[in-house]
Structure 1
Amino acid sequence: MKLIGLLLLLGLASVVEGEVVVSFLSSCPDFFIKDQNDNPVTPTVLSPESRYKQICQKYKGKRSSLNQDWSLMRTNRSTLFQLFDTHSHTDTDKSNKSTGYRYATLYDNDNRIPVYSAYLYTDYALTNRTTPWMIEPQLDGHSQEEMTTEENVDGQLGTNQALNGDYLYRDKGYERGHLYPRCQNCDQDQVESTFTLTNAAPQTAQDSKRWYDQVEKKIAQRMSDKCSERTAFVVTGVVPGGKYLGRFSFLFMNDHGVVVASHFWSAFCCKDKYDQNTLISEGYILEMKGDGSAEAVNQTLNQLNHDLAIKYSSSNFQVFGSIQGCS
């Protein structure tokens, strides 16, 4: 059974090498909270699949070490079981480093903004930005296996995603607002990986400051105070609004461009720092009024799930599934 299981895993790893994947659960499950049976649970994945793309955000990655070890199995059958034993006990950090996956994003091709990004909180840190904003080549049919700059891709871009020009050549005062913020981790490569337009939505400078002051900073402090180390799973998303950044390229003359979010929201669920058998969760949502005048609303996960189902016109939306303590 071990042999069969590992062969299936190897077959999967050889297929799922890029960022745009068929399933979060089969490709990058480590960024999602687990239920009582130790099964990862993703937020609701909206449909249709042709519009909403699941991305395992990949940056400075390499092919999985399981693939690299495949040649060894041809000459030494016992190595197969050694590898199974080794990799079945690999922790989350090592697994993510071997694949290059940093976090997960559900992306809306039509509106050219993410629905949400999901990640494991590590710590709040002041970090440096050393990379330009990147894009995801596979959304527009290119073969590159991870995020990169527009200059590194040959051929047309922008049909299914936002481009830097959508933000740079405009007169409406919008900037690129992070979902997964760069300040909530301590690794420089991880920081750089947050600078992809698939992890950003249009946001005014005033709303960006309001979001940071009332949600990003507060939620990081709450997790540091309340959560056991490395147990806090976070999902941050946006709701599409009625405004958009128009495009000025002749390639997209009749294109609505990039939709501006009406709301940003975020939620976390973790193990209680003082009681490992108890889960703690909180949710926040902030309207993007443009002038930074809105007040963030602190909600239970049940309230947030209800509001998001309405805003996404979904019959049901759950950030952390039906896990008790996170719903």
Structure 2
Amino acid sequence: MLWLLLLQVFASCLWLGHSEVVTSFASCSQFFHAGTPPNNVLEPQNPAWICQRYSNAYHFATLYNKDKRIPAYSAYIYQPGPGARSKSWFVEPQLINPTYPKNMDTEYSLQKKYKITPQQIGQSQAINQDYNNLKDLNRGHLSPSCHRNGNNSKWSTFTLTNIVPQNSTLNQGTWNDYETTTMALQTQGCNITYVIVGAVPGNTYISSRRVNVPSHIWSAACCQTNTGMKTWAVIAENNRDQVQNLTLAELETSLTQLYGKGKVSLFDSACPR
């Protein structure tokens, strides 16, 4: 019996810090209202569905574009609170090799464990050196750490599968104002707020055309109150410091035009347009 107990403890320790590459969001559907992700119009040609799990808990979900090496969107529940920012940046081992562990890990750790190169790590995802020596751009979180509560949840957002090259003035200016001030005001009276933040692929790249620079960053929220549901949305061009406030219907219409692949639906029908 003792060896069975030890085996269970060992298995539970291995499970800490998982970030799963999956075939659908079924195992982390709690981050979408009524368990319904956006429709497949936003799905890239070479997608990865990632249930972002860290310290034995799921924290958010990401649809990742392996060709352009940026997330299409990240979905999460708005739960701001205290905690520290991570000092490390993580990558997704299972985007390197599906047999690798599910743990988020640093590039340095993976290189030591598996005797692999940064080039091997970066075949289907961005790596740290892609974001070196940027001009007028920096690492923009889709699921931001300021919307998370506690160290583990905040640290989970520091994975490069949740990052896009974002205009630095926008990221530190009106987009930051939206994330900190507007969201706090809009969510007053909300019992639970579901958020999806996405990036529209653009025509420019960084790091020798390895990582796409989005043309637009957008965010939509669906909030459940004691009396019903409410929604709001924003979009910003990724070359200027201006955030445009929209209804959910207006954002879906704008994304439908920007993607040109069919009608976009971000939330299920219970979220008012």
TM-score class, shorter? 0.7 to 0.9
Partner residue, 1:311? 258
Q: 1:316 to 1:195 in 2, by over 3 A?
A: same
Q: 1:48 to 1:114 in 2, by over 3 A?
A: closer
Partner residue, 2:175? 212
Is the aligned partner of 1:56 residue 2:51? yes
What CA RMSD, in Å, does the superposition of the two structures yield over aligned residues? 2.0
Per-residue Cα deviation, 1:9-48 (whole angstroms, up to 9, x for no partner): xxxxxxxx86111110x211111111xxxxx111123476
Is the aligned partner of 1:43 residue 2:38? yes
Task: Tell me the secondary structure at the aligned position of residue 88 of structure 2.
Answer: coil
User: In structure 2, how many angstroms separate the alpha carbons of the residues matched to 1:47 and 1:185?
Assistant: 25
Is the aligned partner of 1:114 residue 2:83? no
Partner residue, 1:8? none
User: In structure 2, how many angstroms separate the alpha carbons of the residues matched to 1:126 and 1:297?
Assistant: 28
Is the aligned partner of 1:323 residue 2:263? no
Structure 2: gaps (5+ residues): 1-17
Query: Any conservation in 1 of the 2:42–2:264 contact (CA below 8 Å)?
Result: no
> How far off is 1:163 after superposition?
0.5
Per-residue Cα deviation, 1:225-273 (whole angstroms, up to 9, x for no partner): 2412xx11011111111111023xxxxxxxx21001111111111122x
Q: 1:315 to 1:46 in 2, by over 3 A?
A: closer
Q: From 270, 275, 278, give the equivalent of 2:223.
A: 270
Instruction: Return the TM-score normalized by structure 1.
Output: 0.71
Partner residue, 1:150? 107
Is the aligned partner of 1:162 residue 2:126? yes
Q: 1:204 to 1:50 in 2, by over 3 A?
A: closer
User: In structure 1, how many angstroms separate the alpha carbons of the residues matched to 2:76 and 2:42?
Assistant: 21
Query: Any conservation in 1 of the 2:41–2:262 contact (CA below 8 Å)?
Result: no
Query: Any conservation in 2 of the 1:184–1:220 contact (CA below 8 Å)?
Result: no
Per-residue Cα deviation, 1:71-124 (whole angstroms, up to 9, x for no partner): xxxxxxxxxxxxxxxxxxxxxxxxxxxxx211100001111000111001113x
> How far off is 1:219 after superposition?
3.6
Structure 2 matches for 1:4-83, cutoff 5 A?
19-24=20-25, 26-34=26-34, 40-46=35-41, 51-61=46-56
Q: 1:226 to 1:188 in 2, by over 3 A?
A: same
Q: Percent identity?
A: 35
> How far off is 1:211 after superposition?
4.1
> How far off is 1:313 after superposition?
2.4
Partner residue, 1:127? 83
Query: Any conservation in 2 of the 1:201–1:261 contact (CA below 8 Å)?
Result: yes
> How far off is 1:279 after superposition?
0.3
Q: From 244, 252, 271, give the equivalent of 1:297.
A: 244
